[in-house]
Amino acid sequence: MTELAPSSVFETVESEVRSYCRAWPAVFERASGSRLYDEQGRPYLDFFAGAGSLNYGHNNPVLKRALLDYLADDGITHGLDMSTTAKRGFLEAFRSAVLEPRALPYKVMFPGPTGTNAVEAALKLARKVTGRETVVSFTNAFHGMSLGSLAVTGNSAKRAGAGVTLPHATRMPFDHYFDGQVPDFLWFERLLQDPGSGLDHPAAVIVETVQGEGGINVARAEWLRALADLCRRHDMLLIVDDVQMGCGRTGDFFSFEEAGITPDIVTLSKSISGYGLPMALCLFRPELDLWEPGEHNGTFRGNNPAFVTATAALDAYWRDDALRERTLGRADRVERALLDLCGDDGRSGVAVRGRGLVWGLEFADGERAEAVCRRAFETGLLLETSGPHGEVVKLLPPLTATDDELDEGLGILARSVRHTA
């Protein structure tokens, strides 16, 4: 594997906290569509897609044209939360292309520009509305790296980085945690009903429909519906964290649509800008909009170039069902390929799971999964691991990848799995 020179500026100046560059020791120079290119011009097929921030690929030409035209006209770049033509264009497009067709009444809040900013806003609003502190999250959840988001995150290594106690959160088992041996929400409901349980009445429950960092754990639609019902019956707000799985990753624009539920609060980031520009949304029912002006603030809420590319993405991909149908069709293609691969691998304990165009290949241990990703990089494919032990190879190809690119990536993955057997 290519190693970066020890004397490089990345080694001598940048913090030890860097991570992805350690797994992919190349200096990347440019990107287009589904590929990144290093300084020597070597191409790498990207099945990481900016951790889900590049659902429409690198430098998508439709989005790039809109951005370049906006900048050429001296469009506003930094706008705080001022009213701008770019923000108006996004809000109108989001309402007409996303909210109205789904009969979703949500108000739109622009928090800070990252996913964890959206989660922090959601948690703060839930506590403000209900007057309660406790928030329930789930085993293996990941919701961000700031303190409130870490409190509802399950991964012990990430939580340890906080350096302080992470209070006001309670963990419950995610779907399949007990492999179907325990009825859904038996423990949760018992705690809610028992005045001696010690569980303070929660303000909200926060959930990912598919746990990306947690290992591509897919919640069943019936499990999500039962959770929504539980929240209604016990006066708890339901927050769906759609930061990574939203914007079409599972097929529908929102990952919860398949379950037929309407969360009280939804968080979006990553691919909402469409271009990899920082942008986040916190969506909530109108009656929850109890914010005082400026009560939740942020200097970079008004990233107007991101509004422009987001609007272009909505107009190009969400005015009809073409992208949704294409993604769902490719889900079957990926699943078949991975199931065939597991059969060829011949090792017990290898499992496949996923939805839409997010898939995981689970191995018995993290060393094998890491070796597969390392070999894939050496042969021109970017993949990452996930799961509590890093035991899952995670696939996040761009939704706009061609059929040939999808087959090429799956082929490299198959050869990498066999090479490391």
Q: Report yes or no: 300 and 113 within 8 Å, Cβ to Cβ.
A: yes
- pLDDT of 344 reads 55
- pLDDT of 421 reads 84
- pLDDT of 346 reads 46
Neighbour order of strands in the sheet with 43-46: 28-32, 35-38, 43-46, 381-382
For residue 404 the two structure tokens come to 């040939």
* Identity at 73, one-letter amino acid code: D
Q: Report yes or no: 298 and 112 within 8 Å, Cβ to Cβ.
A: yes
CA distance 14 to 359: 32
pLDDT tens string, the chain, 421 residues long: the values are 445 555 699 999 999 999 999 999 999 999 999 999 999 999 999 999 999 999 999 999 999 999 999 999 999 999 999 999 999 999 999 999 999 999 999 999 999 999 999 999 999 999 999 999 999 999 999 999 999 999 999 999 999 999 999 999 999 999 999 988 999 999 999 999 999 999 999 999 999 999 999 999 999 999 999 999 999 999 999 999 999 999 999 999 999 999 999 999 999 999 999 999 999 999 999 999 999 999 999 999 999 999 999 999 999 999 999 999 999 999 999 999 999 998 854 455 689 999 999 999 999 999 999 999 999 999 999 999 999 999 999 999 999 999 999 999 999 999 999 999 8
For residue 368 the two structure tokens come to 């094998």
- pLDDT of 350 reads 85
CA distance 234 to 224: 15
For residue 333 the two structure tokens come to 């293609």
CA distance 63 to 334: 27
Q: Report yes or no: 111 and 121 within 8 Å, Cβ to Cβ.
A: yes
CA-to-CA dists, residue 355 to 83, 253, 268, 328, 388, angstroms = 38, 13, 18, 8, 20
Contacts of residue 224, Cβ cutoff 8 Å, sequence gap at least 6: 207, 209, 256, 259, 261
CA distance 264 to 196: 28
Burial of 38-69, coded b for 16+ CB within 10 Å and e otherwise, reads beeeeebbbbbbbbbbbbbbbebeebeebbee
- pLDDT of 212 reads 97
- pLDDT of 90 reads 98
